[in-house]
Amino acid sequence: MKVNDKYFAISKAAKLAGVSTQSLQYYIMVGLIKPSMVTETNRRLFDESSIERIKLIKKLNKSGYPLRAIRELFLEGKA
């Protein structure tokens, strides 16, 4: 579901990034990504830059980086 043509609900963001909703929820849980916005009703919304970050996480993970190492790269500002 698109909201205001610039924010996407978790299911749409996952689809646009090429991951499952469960994977995106896991990325959020382990601190790899944060929602761009949270509504008053606690809906997590994501913008285009968030979707690009999710794609990067997927690409790095697929190339052999464990999620823990990806998180460290983000924390160090290297990715």
Q: Look up the CATH number of the domain holding residue 54.
A: 1.10.1660.10
Question: Per residue in 14-25, pLDDT tens?
Answer: 999 999 999 999
Q: What is the pLDDT of residue 43?
A: 95
Q: Is the pLDDT of residue 30 over 50?
A: yes
Q: Is the pLDDT of residue 2 over 60?
A: no
Q: What is the pLDDT of residue 4?
A: 54
Question: Per residue in 48-66, pLDDT tens?
Answer: 999 999 999 999 999 999 9
Band (pLDDT 50/70/90 cuts) for residue 75 is: confident
- The number of domains in the chain is 1
**Kind plus residue range of the DSSP H or E element containing 22:** helix 21-29
**CA contacts within 13 A on the Cβ side of 70:** 20
Query: Residue 19 sits in which domain range?
Result: 2-75
